[in-house]
Structure 1
Amino acid sequence: MRAHTTYYSMLAPFILLASAPLGALANDILKTNGYTSCQTDSAITVNRLDMEFDKTAKKIIFDVSGSSAKEQKVRAVLVVNAYGKEVYRKEFSPCDEETKMDELCPVPAGNFAAKGVQSIPDSYISQIPSIAFNVPDLDSQATLQLKSADGDEPLACITSQVGNGKSLALPAVTYVAAGMAGAALLVSGISALAGAGQAGAPTASPTFGEVFGWFQSMALNGMMTVKYPGVYTSWSKNFAFSTGLIGWDSMQTSIDTFRNKTGGNLTDNSVAFLKNATLVYDEDVKNLTKRALNNIFLWSRDELETKVNSTNSNEDTKVMHAVKGIQKYAEELSIPDGNTFMTVLLIFAIVIASVTVAILLFKVILETWALCGNFPKRLTGFRKRYWWVLAKTITTLILLLYGIWTLYCVYQFKNGDSWAAKVLAGVTLAIFTAILVLFTWKIWHVAHKYKKLEGDHSALYDNKDIWRKYSIFYENYKKNYWWIFVPAIVYMFARGCVIAGADGHGLAQAAGQLIVEAVLLVILLWARPYSLKSGNWINIFIQVVRVLSVVCVLVFVEELGVAQTTKTVTGLVLVVMQAVLTGLLAILIAVNAIVICCRDNPHRKKRKEAEKARDLDNLTPLDARNSLLMDPTEYKRNSTFGTRAAGYEAVPLQDQPTAYAPARPFGEGREHLLADTSSLGRAPTHNSNLSGGSASPPVDRAPRLPDVMFSNQANYDPHGHGAPRAHGQAY
């Protein structure tokens, strides 16, 4: 039939996207993604609108169906927009010879459908720029309006997103981000082990908590109730894992069953519903009322059960599901809106169970090691305190996820649904808050106790037991700013409450979050609380990017009426800015790993210093090493330790260099001491000394003056008679 040969005249304009940029994964393909009604109380309803253009094959596949209350002739107006700008407009009639369509000339009363494949002339293909097939997340819309042929009365209006199948939401990006978080955790762990037993040692930034917190910030930005460009929506979804949103069909099905048994509504809030739905942004249709939206759902469900008048049946027709905010973010990950909190709860439970099993397994290995062989002393502390290690690990996870947990709990309270889910949200939030409040009170109590006793809070860092218990809250802060962890906890709580509590109101979300982020930035700039300079600058830079990100989010708020072109440019700037910071953090993690591997072992350095101090502490007042004129290196070189170890000791002999005699055993009788001292002032019997035997008792014990000779008294005779002696000759 000739009518079918002219389908391209109406359908080809859907692919004329002129200067469009944004979309990525297939080869030269443009495709519509769902549709929304842009007119209420339409005389003609469209139940399905799928079009796909393959540039290589030069063909377009179309599938259009709908229903009409009466038979009537129509005129169609097709408008294509790219990044907020109109790039194509065409008005035609399905009854014209050039655009003849039998199914729509006139539109029949009841159901109608048109489905087929048509070739597209090169003249149309040449008008499509190549960039439309290459740029990720193509931001383009095609709108089809139907008007009465004898007037301008609007009969129907349908809008559809057009994309090229390419996107920044890539599994590779998620894997790289997860690898970064794992590397940061490994580096932080190695740094902690290197400083084990040393209280007050901070961890170099970026730490695991800082990296994970940054990923959470990007994910939270994507949850705001604003219309982002597709490129940023896809980018933010890559970091959903940091908030606990992980799509897992079997787990989602189990949650649906749980909600169904506890008062949840699964009609349009379940895994089964999402599999048969196409998500569209709620604000795309400004005049869409709730009644019209319900009609769309009803038409789509009825179409699954009703045979159309034409030869085509639409058994795979999908529901158009309008979403926004947190709901949009979660359901794009195949997680039903009502399952968000339960999903995070189960993921947290799985992590806690895995950590517990790993710690207990390590405990069993250590106990077995202790029974079978020599157990290293370094691991003795873990054997005694492994329950505390487990409790500390769980507390660290609670501190890391507290802001996210607050967000999902408040969101669960706001949306209702399952009563059991609300109870679990309230109980867990209360428990987590109580744990953090308890630790805060304990740390505050200890700090003020030692403040009274010692005049400062140094015990929080210098006392090994206190450091081991509470350092996870303040280990990277200066001693004067140990309390900064309290504003940090309040910041996480406030951010979660603002985003979840104001869900659905983009302006309130953006304004509230901007205030929260700005206050934290002011605190960091004022206090610079981190012990390391690198920690201060890295965290300040991260916070600056957070503030700038929220400023960019304000551009996307519908109430401000910013042009679509500006929104698109801002979305690209936001992606580039956050990607650059993420790359810098990855580089810094690698640098920290290299520094840890190359620097001196602090334990070995500490042992050397202790040995040196212990050696100097052995000096006695009569020891020649105590001389101020003696060089320490000279002392080490002339040390008699080697000769003593060989069995000899230094014995000074008059008029001769120092000789060495066999060392006498320790504890031998005092007569040796008397024998040695009795010979003072007289020429010793060299043979007896060298042989190491006992000296004969002296015959004459009369005291004598010491043989002291001064340089200017070489010829002095102490007895006042006799010839002068030669220099150096003993009297």
Structure 2
Amino acid sequence: MRAHATYSSMLAPFILLASAPLGAFAADILKTSGYSTCLDNAEVTVQNLNMEFDKNTKKIVFDVAGTSQKEQKIEATLIVNAYGREVYRNKFDPCDSSTKVDRLCPVPKGSFSANGEQSIPDVVLSKIPSIAFNVPDLDSQATMQLTAKDGGKQLACITSQVSNGKSISVPGVTYVAAGMAVAALAVSGLGALAGAGQAGTPTSSPTFFEVVGWFQSMSLNGMMSANLPGVYQSWSKNFAFSTGLISWEGAQRQIDSFRNGTGGNLTEDSVEFLKKATLVHVDQGMNLTKRSFDTMQLWARDELNTNVNGTGNGTEGDNKIMHAVKGIQGYVEEYSIPKGNTFMTILLAFAIVIASITVAILLFKVILETWALFGTFPKKLTNFRKRYWWILAKTITSLVLVLYGVWTMYCVYQFKNGDSWAAKTLAGVTLGLFTAILIFFTWKIWSIAHKFKKMEGDASALFENKEVWRKYNIFYENYKKSYWWIFVPAIIYMFTRGCVIAGADGHGMVQAGGQLIVEALLLGLLLFCRPFSLKSGNWINISIQIVRVLSVVCILVFVEELGVAQTTKTVTGLVLVIMQAVLTGLLAILIAVNAIVVCCKKNPHKQKRKDAEKARDLDNLTPLDARNSLLMDPIEYKRSSVANKFGARAGYDPIPLTEQNTSYHGARPYDGQERLLADTQGVGHTRSISAERSVSPPNSRAPRLPSVDLAGPPGYAPAPAGPLHDHNYRGQAF
């Protein structure tokens, strides 16, 4: 085992060639990360293995410790694989003068350990490509095999991953992704405000639901139990926040206490255990035996001076446990979240978000009520003041809809791997509650649609009735009126996908095959129906679904059962990262474009009111009238129209209508003393009229009034009042 020390000299070059993932070390440094046994019932077991090569100092530092059942001379073989190919192999003897390590020649009976450093010759360094120190998340493993010098029996086998400190799992990507989700939410809100709450107005894609759903897809792909390349696993970690996974040690300790008091086993499933453990991803090409995966009790001490059988001149440091992980467990424990705490973590995150939303809405309610006591707030806020409880319920329902797929997955995972009866009970209750909420709204919308369809022949009222739209639009607002029901298969899709991923955890072939079927069915539905009301919505969602299907196909390539070469897997992983990164970038650009459009476009509600006012003005024109001209003043047209109608009766001399004797709507007021009639001899007279009466025409012929005073001659009876009794003419028929 100490051969590892000697082996380190050779390991350096070849580690460099392998250059691999993980870690965050200084520049031009390669370092092993974790280790495990690849041989059952080994006579020599390793309890510590650390090697680090610094290109600048040209030295490799090693730290190795273990136990041996007997004293014996050994030979060591060092093998380095990069991208599934063997790139280096060297066999050496710790007792040889050129590679001698005193305390490993021979390996003593009992425990042993050794640390130190060795210089790497320039001839070896010249063979190390510089790319080995720069390319992030490359797949590389170093394997050390120990054999007995007498007889050639294999005594031990240790494998370790090699890191160059470069990774694409960086906080910056997470912050950008979170910013995209917030921006999509803000643009959707601005779009709703710009539409003045008008019923039937869809939200431009990509919406908040679509963006978060896409992030969740990439995160879930990283949880698959397949031999994922390190580069893709690191990429998928950038989107873990979309599934509710947040590293928070204080919260994890509280969850540990809760589990401990409700039947949980914290021995190898707690925050304290993870703090002492080094994660070994056995789904990243690590060739481990079943026994090594199940037990994994190899130890590595951080700092250890040379000693044999417990004696030496140094002190021992803290122990580290090699902890083998894969699938969902490997994904969540990268965030120091024990697998038994997974469901409780997302439940806690959900509760915090709900509490924050509730407090914000209630605080805004208090502000409005205070405002109402001391002043008058805008009418637009009246609706919120009256309906804030419904707004709160709708917001919670929206959050349930966003998280339903991953919530299902975590609940099923808790049922399968959880140990706390209380956590399992909470998982069952919450999953049942969320499902009941979605079923209730589905039934409600379906009932309303059926009612309207029975009364009016279709379900268009779901989009046209403002009250119905305000309550239920989150489920179908972006669909065409004839495809309002598409949200039902969308919910079924989320539920089924979560069940497949969690239920088949640990079985990559079943996971990938089941998820491929689910994704393909949804893609077929979108291609057949094209249900989104906007063309952009159809193309964006279809594109997202196509990439989802292709992603699952790539993950199927990673499945161990298919035996695809590691080189092909790595190239496929890089292609998958590029494909998903390009789509994510396009979504970011579209969100920015939507923001610009929302800020620049006119308010459709205001524009509709302006169009209605113009239409009322045009209603004054009639195509049957020769005076129908857009060049004629509307007021002059009304006057001529009145005169024409009034003089159209046979045998009646029309009363001259001028600005001085006309008082219908829009005309200039009269002066009280008007000239109304003149007799045939040209003798006229005037009469005083009030602002509320006008002369009515006779029933048969126009009267010839004698030139008399206003009272008229004896025996004269004026014609009865006709329909012109109100001089405030507004266009009524005579």
Superposition TM-score, scaled by structure 1 size: 0.86
Per mean C-alpha deviation after superposition, the further-off stretch among 153-162 and 604-613 is: 604-613
The answer as to whether partners of 1:67 and 1:112 remain within 8 angstroms in 2 is: yes
Deviation sequence 1:277-325 (CA, Å, 0-9, x none): 1111235555523478536258989x99x98334344422310101110
What is the one-letter code of the residue matched to 1:188? S
Change (3 A) 1:681 1:114: farther
Change (3 A) 1:493 1:684: farther
What is the one-letter code of the residue matched to 2:277? A
Change (3 A) 1:671 1:505: closer
Aligned to 1:385: 387
Is 1:133–2:130 an aligned residue pair? Answer: no
What is the one-letter code of the residue matched to 1:678? L
Is 1:349–2:351 an aligned residue pair? Answer: yes
What is the one-letter code of the residue matched to 1:523? L
2:310 partner SS: coil
**Residues of 2 paired with 1:683 and 1:118: CA distance?**
135
2:160 partner SS: strand
Change (3 A) 1:75 1:511: same
What is the one-letter code of the residue matched to 1:103? R
State which of 400, 404, 407 in structure 2 corresponds to 1:405. 407
Per mean C-alpha deviation after superposition, the further-off stretch among 103-112 and 517-526 is: 103-112
Change (3 A) 1:190 1:371: same
Aligned to 1:708: none
Change (3 A) 1:580 1:287: closer
Deviation sequence 1:632-659 (CA, Å, 0-9, x none): 4644697999xxxxxxxxxxxx9xx997
**Residues of 1 paired with 2:683 and 2:116: CA distance?**
125
The answer as to whether partners of 1:144 and 1:158 remain within 8 angstroms in 2 is: yes
**Residues of 1 paired with 2:636 and 2:539: CA distance?**
51
State which of 431, 442, 445 in structure 1 corresponds to 2:444. 442
Aligned to 2:677: 678
The answer as to whether partners of 1:229 and 1:571 remain within 8 angstroms in 2 is: yes
Deviation sequence 1:366-397 (CA, Å, 0-9, x none): 11222222221111111111100000000010
Is 1:97–2:97 an aligned residue pair? Answer: yes
Per mean C-alpha deviation after superposition, the further-off stretch among 174-183 and 673-682 is: 673-682
Per mean C-alpha deviation after superposition, the further-off stretch among 578-587 and 628-637 is: 628-637
> Offset of 1:103 from its aligned partner?
1.0
**Residues of 2 paired with 1:352 and 1:63: CA distance?**
50
Is 1:296–2:297 an aligned residue pair? Answer: yes
Is 1:204–2:204 an aligned residue pair? Answer: yes
Change (3 A) 1:22 1:158: closer
**Residues of 1 paired with 2:72 and 2:288: CA distance?**
25
Deviation sequence 1:170-216 (CA, Å, 0-9, x none): 00000000000000000001111112331111000000000000000
> Offset of 1:41 from its aligned partner?
0.7
Aligned to 1:180: 180
Change (3 A) 1:603 1:295: closer
**Residues of 2 paired with 1:485 and 1:40: CA distance?**
52
Segments of structure 1 that go 5 or more residues without pairing to the other structure are 642-653, 705-731
**Residues of 2 paired with 1:594 and 1:680: CA distance?**
73
Aligned residue pairs, count? 674
**Residues of 1 paired with 2:679 and 2:30: CA distance?**
110
What is the one-letter code of the residue matched to 2:329? Q
Aligned to 1:278: 278
Change (3 A) 1:695 1:208: closer
The answer as to whether partners of 1:65 and 1:111 remain within 8 angstroms in 2 is: yes
Aligned to 1:650: none
The answer as to whether partners of 2:15 and 2:142 remain within 8 angstroms in 1 is: no
Is 1:420–2:422 an aligned residue pair? Answer: yes
**Residues of 2 paired with 1:147 and 1:534: CA distance?**
65
State which of 466, 469, 475 in structure 2 corresponds to 1:467. 469
What is the one-letter code of the residue matched to 1:374? T
Let me know the Cα RMSD of the aligned residues: 3.4
Change (3 A) 1:494 1:686: farther
Aligned to 1:213: 213
Deviation sequence 1:77-113 (CA, Å, 0-9, x none): 0011111111111000000010010010000111111
After TM superposition, the structure 1 = structure 2 runs for residues 14-413 of structure 1, keeping only pairs within 5 Å, are 14-17=12-15, 20=18, 23=21, 25=24, 26-283=26-283, 286=287, 288-290=289-291, 293-294=294-295, 296=297, 308-413=310-415
Aligned to 1:560: 562
1:98 partner SS: coil
Change (3 A) 1:630 1:414: same
What is the one-letter code of the residue matched to 2:353? V
After TM superposition, the structure 1 = structure 2 runs for residues 454-493 of structure 1, keeping only pairs within 5 Å, are 454-493=456-495
What is the one-letter code of the residue matched to 2:167? S
Change (3 A) 1:463 1:150: same
The answer as to whether partners of 1:70 and 1:109 remain within 8 angstroms in 2 is: yes
**Residues of 1 paired with 2:217 and 2:48: CA distance?**
38
**Residues of 1 paired with 2:670 and 2:592: CA distance?**
69
2:311 partner SS: coil
Change (3 A) 1:534 1:466: same
The answer as to whether partners of 2:5 and 2:114 remain within 8 angstroms in 1 is: no
Change (3 A) 1:565 1:454: same
**Residues of 2 paired with 1:396 and 1:596: CA distance?**
22
**Residues of 1 paired with 2:681 and 2:366: CA distance?**
72
2:319 partner SS: coil
Change (3 A) 1:175 1:676: farther
Change (3 A) 1:92 1:613: same
Aligned to 1:592: 594
Aligned to 1:720: none
State which of 510, 520, 533 in structure 2 corresponds to 1:518. 520
The answer as to whether partners of 1:224 and 1:509 remain within 8 angstroms in 2 is: yes
Aligned to 1:727: none
Change (3 A) 1:107 1:639: farther
**Residues of 2 paired with 1:239 and 1:360: CA distance?**
31
**Residues of 2 paired with 1:488 and 1:418: CA distance?**
32
Per mean C-alpha deviation after superposition, the further-off stretch among 136-145 and 603-612 is: 603-612
Segments of structure 2 that go 5 or more residues without pairing to the other structure are 640-652, 696-701, 707-734
> Offset of 1:13 from its aligned partner?
2.3
The answer as to whether partners of 1:23 and 1:133 remain within 8 angstroms in 2 is: no
**Residues of 2 paired with 1:533 and 1:347: CA distance?**
36
Deviation sequence 1:489-527 (CA, Å, 0-9, x none): 000000000000000000000000000000000000000
> Offset of 1:27 from its aligned partner?
0.7
The answer as to whether partners of 1:8 and 1:120 remain within 8 angstroms in 2 is: no
> Offset of 1:346 from its aligned partner?
0.3
**Residues of 2 paired with 1:237 and 1:127: CA distance?**
33
Aligned to 1:709: none
What is the one-letter code of the residue matched to 1:64? V
**Residues of 1 paired with 2:597 and 2:683: CA distance?**
63
The answer as to whether partners of 1:10 and 1:92 remain within 8 angstroms in 2 is: no
> Offset of 1:153 from its aligned partner?
0.3
2:368 partner SS: helix
**Residues of 2 paired with 1:49 and 1:297: CA distance?**
10
Aligned to 2:585: 583
**Residues of 2 paired with 1:472 and 1:32: CA distance?**
50
What is the one-letter code of the residue matched to 1:108? P
The answer as to whether partners of 2:63 and 2:115 remain within 8 angstroms in 1 is: yes
> Offset of 1:60 from its aligned partner?
1.7
> Offset of 1:612 from its aligned partner?
2.1
State which of 606, 609, 620 in structure 2 corresponds to 1:607. 609
What is the one-letter code of the residue matched to 2:140? S
What is the one-letter code of the residue matched to 2:387? R
> Offset of 1:39 from its aligned partner?
0.5
> Offset of 1:17 from its aligned partner?
4.1
What is the one-letter code of the residue matched to 2:604? P
**Residues of 2 paired with 1:241 and 1:639: CA distance?**
69
The answer as to whether partners of 1:47 and 1:317 remain within 8 angstroms in 2 is: no
**Residues of 1 paired with 2:144 and 2:3: CA distance?**
20
Per mean C-alpha deviation after superposition, the further-off stretch among 413-422 and 50-59 is: 50-59
> Offset of 1:20 from its aligned partner?
4.2
